[in-house]
Chain A
Amino acid sequence: MKRTSLFAYLWIALCGLSSVALATPSMAERPAPFPKTIHYAPLPMNNPAFNLAKSQVLTQYLQAKLHIQVIPKLYDNYEDILTAFQQGEVELIELGPLVYFTLQSQTEHATPLVSVKHHPQEEYYQCVLAAPIDGINHLESPPTQPAYKVALTQPLSTCGWLMTQHLLEKHGLHLETLPSQYLGSHEAVAMALIRKEHQIGGLARFIAERYANLGLRILDTSEPLPQFIMVANNAKLSADERNALQAALLDYRSNEQTPMGIYGFNPFSEKLFDRFQSIVAQNPHTQQYALKQEAVHR
């Protein structure tokens, strides 16, 4: 009888100590502005593992900063991302300006938070038309040579069909009339031009400048365009939560080991979107076409 009582006392004492020991730190570590889990969808890429790795540092930063759980969710294409966003499966996504306009047209719950810097100094994004240095040095309409073979990045890329078409239009050329090929990336477009496999190509300005020393020449440059943006799902996140998330992203300092956000974020600005919106408006079919092209391309 005595032995049983002793065990009982010990058990109660241990339970009490354990509860105190466990409760004290957990209460102290939980500031609680974000009592929920956020699902984050980065840009769709061919390599999910690499994509996940690129996002890993950012998600870990947000978790530590906001004391929330951030779970990356990978999707094969933009269409799936937009669908997931509208169905409330994700709370935070990264989008290019073109896809953002598409989303805005589909739902009112898309709230842009920050712009993703692609260059340390530049606050905007520009697309160019480029050619090898020993190739054409100016655009002619119509071309004297056989039809220019055009290298393109991706269908939904800002510097893809939309801006290449836009820049060609300035010189009296029409992309749909020229032979074109999606090469998948800005680097692939640059390399193809270097190798003279294409006469002209559309790609981001900062990529084109990187290959300039190797032998790439920029023929024309677009006006400033909005950068990629991080968009919050206001159906899932409150204004306070969005504000907290925005503040955390703006506080983010680049980590050399992660490509995502390597140059940090800027506050979202509607300013550049007006011009971009007018370009898009000039090519009303482009948006829908691009989405379809993108789906086919993948």
Chain B
Amino acid sequence: MMWTEKTKNASLFDALFAVLLSVAIWAVLLHGIYQSSQKEIQADLHEIISKQEMAWLSVQKMFHQGAEVRFQMAVNNPEVLSILERAQDPTQTQQARLDLYRALYPYYQKRLNEHDGHFHLHFHTPDNRSFLRFHQPEMFGDDLSAARPSIVEVNRTLTPVYAFETGKVISGLRHIFPIIYHGKHLGSVEFGQRFEALRQEIAAFNPQDEYNIVYKRDLIEGKYFKQFSYLYAPSPFSSHWLQEDPYSVLKHAAAPLSPTVQAIAALAKQDPNFDQQLADGQSFAKTFTLNGKTYTLCLTPVHDIHQQNIAYLFSVGESDQIQRKEQRFLTESIVLSVIMLLIGIGIWRLLVSQRQQKEHRSYLQRINNTLSEGLYVTDRNGCITMVNTAAQNTLGYTDTEMLGQNAHDLFHSSEDPQDCSQHCPIETATLSGNAYHGELVFITKEQQPIWVSVSGQPLYIGNVNKGMVVSFNDISAQKAQDEALRIAATAFETQEGIMITDPKGNVLQVNQAFTRLTGYEAEDVIGKTPKILNSGMQDHAFYEQMWQTLLRHHYWQGEIWNKRKNGDVYLEWLTITGVVNHKGVLTHFVASFSDATERHKAQEEIQKLAFYDPLTKLPNRRLFLDRLEHALIYSQRTRQCGALFFIDLDNFKTLNDTRGHLIGDLLLKEVSKRLLDNVRMVDTVSRIGGDEFVILLENLGENTDKAVHYAENIALNILQAFRQPFILNGESHHSSPSIGIEIIRCEHNSPDELLTHADLAMYQAKKQGRNNVRFFDPQMQTNVEKLVSLQSDLREALEQNQFELYYQPQVNQYAEIIYAEALIRWKHPQKGYISPADFIPVAEESGQIIAIGDWVLQTACETLVKWQQEPVFALLKLAVNVSAKQFAEKDFVEKVTRVLEETGADPNQLKLELTESVTVKDLETTIRTMNALRDIGVRFSIDDFGTGHSSLSYLKRLPLSQLKIDQSFIRDLTVDSDDAIIVKTIIAMSNTLKLEVIAEGVETIEQKEFLKENHCTVYQGYLFSPPLPLEKFENLVRTTLEIHFLDA
């Protein structure tokens, strides 16, 4: 039913389309025929228009010629002229008019009769007034200026005028002559013919046509006498145009318009363009059909003296010629319509035929598309002419992409493409009339090869081979399955043991690796369960858990201890996978395993190496940090306190250096045991490097004091344990620990912070004299941070040249400046001046003292060079302090030598001040260094003498030139007898050794006098001058010299 409905709709559509197409063609052709016909008709109409215009002109011309003769005969004679001359006299005007009327009435009556009453005669005065109308004699004296411009023209120019003109009574063709008698202008006379006279003349030329005239309404209204309004009525053509004498009132009136003309006029009036065409004032013609006949309406404009269109001459006539052309057009239209009808039927039949063919093809295509096999048909050139949906889906092309393409080029494949492009096996077979069956690789649009099973048959229509029909099936999945089976068979025989069981665990198959790993042959296990491998090392719950996992997830993986056929227990890494069929039903278990025994051992070893100290077997730093991190988290969660011990063995390096590393290692092992003996089992003892141990105590309660107390006890126990000598390789050895403790509170969150705190505490303990315990104090942290900050600032100070050398004079007993000591000053950009007492120790500690010392030496030498340029300073010697680390440098001598050479300073002017501690460390080396420098002229002074342990013998070996008494002895010299004795002793010793002695820190006269009395003649101190910047020092020197000069 649906199909029938669709077919009906399609048929209707075909018919509609055929009709529309035919109508369109018909309309175009008909339009052409119509245009051609209209062109011919228009040509005919133009001819009619031309003829009518010529006739109108001819008639007017004819009357023009007659009027001249009439004027000369009737008017321009003495009798009439004398009457008119009399009329100029107002007293005789009336009589003259009467005489004129009577004189010319016979002539007028004669002309009237000759022209069927269409002649009129009208005299005018010179001032354009009517003098005598023969057709209306009682009406005279009226002004004609407005209504009759032709009269005005004649009286103005005194020349004749010929024109068609409307009037106050009637309209017509006027011939107006000026009347001049004895040189006097007497007025004018008009000979006129009413239109009827002209009409009759024209009608004589074309008696078959009916002629008449219409006047332009707005020009004629208001011009004629009101009492004659009945002489005009609206024209049947248009209300804007008037017809004359519609009721044939006038004598010899024209016949009224015929019914035919009135009917044509009614038709023309219905034409919306007709009024406008009339208004345009041009000749035109139209055709009308009335009662089966064709009439032409031709209109010729009539102009007045000013060429103004005042009227239209029109004619209505039957036109056989045009009628024939219209009939011919009709005939041609009918013939055309019949032809187009036949063509339309033909188009419809063609459309129906094409649609049926298309439907048939679609029908076959739909059948083909239902096939699951791909199907395509080619012509003899291998180009595809039909392809079904299955083929499109398989190959990924659309039908438009495939149709017309060569199948072989498009999607056939071969290992040798060139060869394949020339020889398609299917084509080769079918073109020779044979069928082809085989497997080939087709290439999809996505360039994916697919295996297909192909069947090709030659396509015979009649006895002619028209190509081939090829069907194919995608067998890629089957091929892949075969391949997968082959690969699976290979994979089965792998290095891993494989065992396949049914869902109940009964062994179905094992591979060779299984036999190799377990010792069981296939026949030993097939039909049995894996229990045969049970080592007994896993309990029943283990297996229960395994089976539950397998049944739920069809997968289990893990380590399991099994037993080989020979009874050896081994660890295997076992993976069991459940196999389910397409219905989701479990059908098999596949267990694959490998021997993990060796790997297990290796992992254990790796674990130990990674997390334990190989020497002491204690957790190493990594494991300890891990446990510390856990402990912190635990503490934060439970608010339990703990404690972290940082333990460093005192003098362990000495043991290593003196008794070797093996002994050191033995000590470390013993220490480990003692530490473990003094903590709980749950506590962690770790060696984190060298002789450093850490202990982590957890769960010490929520009370911090109690935790401190507990930790202190443990620390004291450890110290106590260390008091017992260690027996190392048979020899007794005493060792002590320095212990730093940080209490772990719940607010701690960083293991590194804890370790740092404990380390700092340990450092403090060590500073306190070793074998000690010290809890972390926040002040330690502050100090350390300050120290670190100062070290950083020192680096910047060097880089940014923040150091400066001050010079403190050293004077003799006469207060003459003979030496100077260079003293470093540091002006920090933010912190201001920083005391050397604060930063020198830091520099010593950090090693930065080397760089600072180099800078001081370099700067001092440069100052010496400067002084050498001026005599005032030329003899000054400059003392420079040298630190122990600086002096201990191996290349110290070379460095000093190089600086002297580079700056050009005189070595004799340079004095290096060394502390006693510097000299006593390695006496021989010190002597060598000092001697080497002394050899080039450098002098040495022992600074802070008296504070160390210098002995006379020792001093004697050093190439010194000066001793400097430490200011600590000088400060209380006058009040402390001990200091006075020491000073005297030093001075005496110096004198004995023939060394110059200098006292520093001299601040009072008393001190100076005491020293002087005891033969110390060189002084340094605020009594004479504080350390000064270079410029001020130099000024001081100059001033002092000047004073001395003045004194002298």
Contacts and interface: CB of A to CB of B under 8 A. Distances in A.
A195 B246 CA distance: 30
B132 to A, nearest CB: 9
A50 interface: yes
Given A194-B137, A211-B138, A50 B247 contact: yes
B249 to A, nearest CB: 5
Nearest to A212: B138
Contact of A47 (B97, B226, B229, B247): B247
Interface in A107-153: 132-134
A134 B137 contact: no
A263 to B, nearest CB: 12
Contact of B98 (A49, A53, A215, A258): A215
Nearest to B228: A259
A74 to B, nearest CB: 12
Contact of A214 (B138, B247, B248): B138
A50 B230 contact: yes
B249 A214 contact: no
Interface in B376-417: none
Interface string A14-29: 0000000000000000
B867 interface: no
Contact of A49 (B102, B137, B229, B256): B256
A215 B230 contact: no
B839 interface: no
Contacts of A191: 137
B140 interface: yes
B98 A47 contact: no
Interface string A187-221: 10011001110000000000000110111000000
B98 A257 contact: no
Contact of A257 (B95, B140, B141, B229): B229
Contacts of B138: 187, 190, 210-211, 213-214
Contacts of A53: 230, 233, 246-247
Interface in B231-264: 233, 246-249, 256
Contacts of A195: 101-102, 105
Given A53-B246, A214-B137, A194 B229 contact: no
A215 B137 CA distance: 10
Contacts of B246: 49, 53
Interface in B244-302: 246-249, 256
Nearest to A54: B230
B95 A47 contact: no
B94 interface: yes
Contacts of B248: 47, 49-50
Most chain A beta-carbon contacts within 10 A, residue among B229, B233, B247, B256: B247
A195 B101 CA distance: 8
Given A49-B247, A134-B95, A257 B230 contact: yes
Interface string B83-115: 000000000001101100110010000000000
A203 to B, nearest CB: 12
A270 interface: no
A176 interface: no
A210 to B, nearest CB: 5
Contacts of A215: 94-95, 97-98, 101
Contacts of B105: 195
B83 to A, nearest CB: 13
Nearest to B253: A47
A50 B102 contact: no
A256 interface: yes
A66 to B, nearest CB: 25
A261 B138 CA distance: 23
Interface string A236-270: 00000000000000000000111100000000000
Contacts of A213: 94, 138, 140-141
A259 B256 CA distance: 21
Contacts of B230: 50, 53-54, 257-259
Nearest to A50: B247
Nearest to B138: A211
Contacts of A257: 229-230
B249 A133 contact: no
A176 B484 CA distance: 157
Contact of B140 (A132, A134, A194, A214): A214
A258 B248 CA distance: 16
Contacts of A47: 247-249
A207 to B, nearest CB: 9
B98 A133 contact: yes
Interface in A35-58: 47, 49-50, 52-54
A257 B226 CA distance: 8
B90 to A, nearest CB: 13
Contacts of B256: 49
B244 to A, nearest CB: 14
Contacts of A50: 230, 247-249
Contacts of B229: 256-257
Contacts of B233: 53
A82 B909 CA distance: 181
Nearest to B226: A256
Interface in A162-182: none
Nearest to A255: B229
Nearest to B141: A213
A257 B232 CA distance: 10
A161 B101 CA distance: 28
A58 to B, nearest CB: 13
A129 B94 CA distance: 21
Contacts of B227: 259
Given A47-B248, A47-B249, A53-B247, A214 B226 contact: no
Contacts of B98: 132-134, 194, 214-215
A117 to B, nearest CB: 15
Contacts of A187: 138
A296 B296 CA distance: 47
B101 A214 contact: yes
Nearest to A53: B247
A272 to B, nearest CB: 26
Nearest to B232: A257
A39 to B, nearest CB: 21
A115 to B, nearest CB: 21
A54 B229 CA distance: 11
Nearest to A259: B230
A236 B83 CA distance: 62
A191 B102 CA distance: 10
Contacts of B97: 214-215
A53 B246 CA distance: 9
A212 to B, nearest CB: 9
Nearest to B229: A257
B287 to A, nearest CB: 30
Contacts of A132: 98
Contacts of A259: 227, 230
A256 B228 CA distance: 10
A32 B623 CA distance: 131
A196 B101 CA distance: 11
B370 to A, nearest CB: 44
B764 to A, nearest CB: 115
Interface string A76-114: 000000000000000000000000000000000000000
Interface of B: 94-95, 97-98, 101-102, 105, 137-138, 140-141, 226-227, 229-230, 233, 246-249, 256
25 contacts: A47-B248, A49-B247, A50-B248, A53-B230, A53-B233, A53-B247, A133-B94, A133-B95, A133-B98, A134-B98, A190-B138, A191-B137, A195-B101, A210-B138, A213-B140, A213-B141, A214-B97, A214-B101, A214-B138, A215-B95, A215-B97, A215-B98, A215-B101, A256-B229, A257-B229
Please provide the 10 A-B residue pairs with the shortest distance between their CB atoms, ordered closest to farther: A215-B98, A50-B247, A49-B247, A211-B138, A50-B249, A53-B247, A257-B229, A214-B138, A210-B138, A256-B226
Given A49-B246, A53-B246, 11 more contacts: A50-B248, A132-B98, A133-B98, A134-B98, A211-B138, A213-B94, A213-B140, A214-B140, A215-B94, A258-B230, A259-B227
